[in-house]
Amino acid sequence: MKILHLLAQKPGETGSGVYLKNLVKVARSKEYAQYVIAGIDINDWHYLRSMPDDVLFAPVFFNTEELPFPVAGMSDAMPYTSTKYSEMTEEMFFLWQKAFTAALNKAALFEPDLIIVHHLWLLAALSRKVFPKTPIIGICHSTEFRQLASAGQFKEYVLNGCKQLDGIAALSSYQKNEIQRLYGIAGDKIKIVGGGFANEIFYPPQKRPIQDKIKLLYAGKISRVKGVLSLLRTFSQLPFPQEKVELILAGSGFGTEYDQIMDMIKRMNNVTFLGSVSQTSLSNLMREAHIFVLPSFYEGFSLVTVEALASGLRLVVNELPVLREWISEELEESGLVRFVKMPKLQAIDEPEPKELPAYEYRLRESIIYQVNEVKKSKIVPLLGWQKMVYKYSWEAIFSKIENIYRSLSIHKKI
């Protein structure tokens, strides 16, 4: 089988980029021919080496004469310099569409049997125009819901195009309901596939000694909507000696709020900022840490939370619908996972400012609980690992996408 993978932003930098690269990896193990189109900056030459040699990679270059602006990002707070779709003018969209149309037309010579496009957004709608007969499966990552609200100038274009896709892969039932509500796509066209993790990389250590301190870990975008400011304020108020606890932050960000967060980190002695790390480095961090904290106010699925649970970490996470769906009651009842009640939101990922003090108190209490649990027990929790391996390996996720393809009325045989 020949698969064309499409992503309008940088591969490997965000959840959708990690998703793409892992689907490529599994498809490669099945010896499928593959072609990847993604958006990168003209100076991002290292991305050209990010795909296996036997996978065709044709990037669309930004910050060029043809596309004189940064890569457009599905989140308004990307971990790199980016263009906001809400600020994209008609002229910018014309150039964007022209560049990706040229890339898609070139990919037509590859004669794909299946197209997998990430995000139910502009590239998904455009791919349907260029490939009217090829089966296309769109994978939703939830960030498109925010873009429908903030970049309304593209709403009609996106809805009309995405309704014509052959199949939709949702990461959760909550997300499926939102796709039906916002896009008007029939439920029988949407299949829940979930998110995955690399079980050969993320696994528990044989032992996890406390040694001189208990380590808390956050991994993700360094931004306000991810709750990093609340986490830092909460961590500074923990009733433990500074030398006994450490907060490790892994991720990257950009802009004014990133600078604000970095200034705050510099004033805290027991906070370590590592910047962006590889999946292998992240897995090593997870085997060294004791508690994973996700204070995010909005998530599409949160692959990193799956990875943390699979690594035998205790969790403190916000009570997001997508997490509630796949984290079982058994894991919560065991104490391995502590949910924190969310603050009221004034927008899809914006908490009411007056709600933050009470929320941060709840976050603090949950972290204290998990720190005390780590002190009491020297055993590495394996319950999360056992649950994750069967259900959320990338092989299992890819098989579900293959099943969507097989179920389509118009397809070639695998």
> Whole-angstrom distance between the N-terminal and C-terminal Cα of the chain?
6
Q: Where in the chain is the domain with CATH 3.40.50.2000?
A: 2-196+393-407, 214-390
Cα angle value 365/291/231 (rounded, 5°): 55
| 122 touches 157 (CB < 8 A) | yes
Residue 208's pLDDT is 80
d(CA 224, CA 128): 35
β-pair type (345-347, 350-351): antiparallel
3-state secondary structure of 252: coil
Residue 240's pLDDT is 93
Fold annotation for 214-390: Rossmann fold (3.40.50)
Tens digits of per-residue pLDDT, 121-132? 999 999 999 999
Residue 414's pLDDT is 42
Residue 273's pLDDT is 96
Tens digits of per-residue pLDDT, 95-142? 999 999 999 999 999 999 999 999 999 999 999 999 999 999 999 998
Reference 37, options 58, 16, 22; nearest CA is 58
| 221 touches 190 (CB < 8 A) | no
Residue 347's pLDDT is 79
Residue 413's pLDDT is 43
Report pTM.
Answer: 0.79
Residue 80's pLDDT is 85
Residues 6+ away with beta carbon under 8 Å from 359? 230, 340, 341, 342, 343, 351
3-state secondary structure of 32: coil
Fold annotation for 2-196+393-407: Rossmann fold (3.40.50)
Question: What parts of the chain have a pLDDT lower than 70?
Answer: 383-390, 409-414
